Structure 1
Amino acid sequence: MVDEKGSTVIYNKKMMQIEDMDEQDVLHKNLTDVFMFSNQQDSTLVQALQEGKTIKNVKQSYFNNKGQEITTINHTFPIVKDGEIKGAVEIAKDVTKLERLIRENMHRKEQNSYTFDSILGDSPAIQEVIENAKRATRTSSSVLLAGETGTGKELFAQSIHNGSQRSGRPFISQNCAALPDSLVESILFGTKKGAFTGAVDQPGLFEQAHGGTLLLDEINSLNLSLQAKLLRAIQEKKIRRIGSVQDTPIDVRIIATMNEDPIDAIAGERLRKDLYYRLSVVTLIIPPLRERKEDILLLASEFIQMNNHLFQMNVKDLSEEVKQFFLSYDWPGNIRELEHMIEGAMNFITDEEMITFAHLPYQYRMKIQPADKPSENTADPQPGADLKGKMESFEKYIIEKILRKHSYNISQTANELGVSRQSLQYRLKKFALHGKE
């Protein structure tokens, strides 16, 4: 609350938290001397004092005495006595973090900013895919990206586009699973006015992406008849809008993604074999996170820093207990699941600087029985070793544990660990362990 001169007379604890300021910084001082607005008239309190009008649901951005930007949604009311304005009171809702998140997401969408530098990971599995993807930037051949949900297929698609000669042209992305069959054809190929009731001249995605790249996400969700029309457009390099008799030449690079093995999709009649051959000129298989566990802690650190920035926090690391859980968990949702788990954990943090097991979302804490939970006091399995050495030691410990559980049966152990038999046999040889066929 301010008086008729604009000096603050009431400043409650919640407002101190929102503005990150102390009572003595604000009380009995003119608000325009304390806070910085791009224009004094942008202050809703000043407006209420000068105009005597109630202001509701108005967004306001300003800076505190430390130069930090604050964004609030305000309800502001003038205090009027005997026809004279005696002051004003304001109720504010903090939306600073939400505003920053929206702004950054909009910037990311506008820029299509993913490049190969955005792909984190030192593991041989991911580095091999990155190198092959970089080679694919030299041509305009179709690319098929296959990998489980959450492995980063769109990140690879954008990186290929931004690393190619088409980088200055459009990058259009469409999730095919999100489109009803009745609309897919018109969205892909466009419409001509009069083709059906309400139809207008509208370019499709192929025309919008002309000269650039068209990403078709979850291509195996399209019905087979539409896949045939898509194949024809790719082969002939021209499309025909619905209702038109004229063909339009197109110059578009196609990148398609799918979240299952292409051979399984063909066998299950979810993907035409001829379309597969056309799309898979370059095929990249994105490894799941459980097959590149060397990258988990690196990715976790990146997500911590990202959320520190968004939430204005200062979390520095994971506890040893959490690190061991991350390294033993099979990550069915892959990198996206890890990102969401970090974000969820940081929502439970107040002023701590470390994510502990207690901060993890409930559904993850329930996945480990108390007897199996690694202890903060567990002795270091390899004192003095670097991070790679410690991770390999812990990996060997987990494999031995699951082997014993299944009486050293390789198939059953591989199944529980979520890796192929070949991958497990490679690790058994690496760690001088033995199993039974």
Structure 2
Amino acid sequence: MVDTEVEDLLRRLAPQVLDALVRRYGHFDTADDAAQEALLAAATQWPEDGLPDNPLGWLITVASRRLTDLLRAEQARRRREDTVARWALSDRWPAPAADRPAAESDDTLILLFMCCHPSLSAASQIALTLRAVGGLTTAEIARAFLVPEATMTRRITRAKRSVKDSGIPFGIPSGPERADRLGVVLHVLYLIFNEGYASTSGPSLQRVELSSEAIRLARMVHRLLPDDGEVTGLLALMVLTDARRPARTGPDGSLIPMAEQDRGLWNAASIAEGVALITGALPRGVAGPYQLQAAIAAIHDEAPSAEATDWPQITALYELLMRISDNPVVALNHVVAVAMARGPHAGLGLLGPLAADGRIAEDHRLHAVRAHLLEMAGERVAARDCYREAARRATGLSQQRYLHARAARLADGRPGPG
């Protein structure tokens, strides 16, 4: 069995192993360490020795032994410090046998709810989700977010300790709490996807491993909650957005804006899937923010050209979205839609309030939009200065290079697209 096949199998089994350990022993933080050691052992042994007859059972057995060793060591340490060791958490979380294959609803949704507990920061929720549910190693997560492995280790350790200290029951919350926590889960997956699709820092525009992992996890949640409109909307939004990924960068990795992309490179199968998802979700009831964003993405993806895009309909959808979401990025996208539907001066007239909004006033995207609208209006000098200001504020190298190129094009008199 080749290493990539083992890696894919281990990533699928990782949540089930952790779920089984926590159900039997509790101790989320220590159980995660034991599970990771078992996964590492499998990654080393299986390519050489071949798959065991029961891969999941093998992992749970190895992880259980390691967890027992870790718990005994911790008990001994506490005894040396004259503290009382209390490890009978199995009474709090009664469980079936740990070697029983856990249902996917158990090992995915429960772990997602735990990792996305509101007491954790967004950064901790993301890191813990990728580690416990996504099956990524700490080193992989650190590389994805361009931080030292030691920094990510501390972040994950603090998050696991917070989960342990919170006394969160190991189960899916009910009633209003479930709806609230599901909202946090979807938001965390949305953040992971966005960071992968449009990296906020570093040399690359995209981190495919993050956006792909977010889509994989969203598919799992959708399989478990197929009738939830917002779950469906989020998956549709991710699939429709990711469909454009092959055309977003040039051979040198440079950013290509949507209006200039070769739409023949867009993934037609993903577009068809996303359109089908959102078409099926919208008639079920009041549309939430993910469904509205997916509907906007569908309009973009179905347009045969940038010029044929139905900007009035996109404008109307953004106006609906603004009624239920006080989000300055949504308002900025609405400005662009208005400008494309009614002309650049109509869009420029809406930028004033956003420039006074502290949540986005310093963001490079505000200045990039202003530059683009000024360029559309023929005000080349002002547009050039705004592009330069946007480049100064951007943190990603791809965005910086693109914005400097737009400014340079205006400076030397070359005509710009759009």
Normalising by the smaller structure, the TM-score range is under 0.3
Is the radius of gyration larger for structure 1 or structure 2? 1
Which structure has more helix as a fraction of its residues?
Answer: 2
TM-score by length of 1: 0.27
Which structure has more strand as a fraction of its residues?
Answer: 1
